[in-house]
């Protein structure tokens, strides 16, 4: 079963259970997937769905930061609940050590050195680690690897 099919099944389950918050979040995710399919005239594979989930998670984290600084704890709780629902659709994340090891291997493979090669390394890293690792963590690991 593809990830998109799993999300659709989860939506049906949430409808049956009358879980309004979960249903709203899942419908938003499916709407984002459908929007991309229509815009680009493609059928999304699991990697593309994971990229959309990643984007929505990043939006939720940014919202939580903004709402916390604005002292809107009611909205922080809502965004945190949505974040938890969305995170269930991500594959198992790599640990910081695994990310560092993967980045070092890619830097060595590309023969990159110095901050000027950051773009080249990030391009290769994104294709290999998309959906498997937090890109903020990956970016920091690339900077560290290229500074040595």
Q: Identify the CATH number of the domain in which residue 126 sits.
A: 1.10.10.410
Residues 9 and 69 in one domain: yes
SS3 content of the chain, % helix, strand, coil (to 5): 80, 0, 20
Give the pLDDT band (50/70/90) at residue 143: confident
* Residue where a domain terminates, one of 56, 87, 118: 87
Q: What is the pLDDT of residue 130?
A: 73
Residues 41 and 63 in one domain: yes
Q: What is the pLDDT of residue 124?
A: 83
Q: Is the CB of residue 121 less than 8 Å from the CB of residue 107?
A: yes
Q: Does 39 or 112 have the greater pLDDT score?
A: 39
Q: Give the CATH number of the domain where residue 60 resides.
A: 1.10.1510.10
**Closest C-alpha among 83, 53, 90 to residue 68:** 83
Q: What is the pLDDT of residue 82?
A: 96
Residues 121 and 51 in one domain: no
pLDDT tens for each residue of 26-81: 999 999 999 999 999 999 998 889 889 989 999 999 999 999 999 999 999 999 99
Residues 59 and 131 in one domain: no
**Residue ranges making up the domain that contains 62:** 3-87
Residues 67 and 125 in one domain: no
Residues 59 and 82 in one domain: yes
Split into its structural domains, the chain has a count of 2
Q: What is the pLDDT of residue 63?
A: 96
**Closest C-alpha among 61, 56, 59, 32 to residue 44:** 32
Helix axes 3-17, 46-69, angle to 10 degrees: 50
């Amino acid at each position: 079963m593809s990830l998109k099919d799993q999300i659709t099944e989860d939506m049906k389950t949430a409808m049956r259970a009358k879980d309004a918050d979960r249903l709203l979040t899942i419908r938003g995710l499916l709407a984002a997937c459908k929007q991309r399919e229509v815009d680009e005239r493609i059928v999304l594979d699991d990697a593309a769905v994971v990229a959309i989930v990643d984007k929505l998670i990043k939006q939720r984290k940014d919202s939580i930061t903004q709402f916390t600084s604005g002292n809107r704890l009611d909205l922080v709780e809502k965004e945190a609940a949505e974040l938890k629902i969305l995170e269930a659709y991500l594959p198992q994340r790599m640990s910081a050590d695994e990310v560092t090891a993967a980045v070092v291997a890619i830097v060595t493979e590309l023969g990159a050195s110095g901050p000027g090669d950051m773009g080249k390394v990030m391009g290769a890293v994104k294709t290999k680690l998309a959906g498997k690792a937090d890109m903020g963590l990956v970016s920091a690991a690339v900077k560290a690897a290229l500074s040595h």
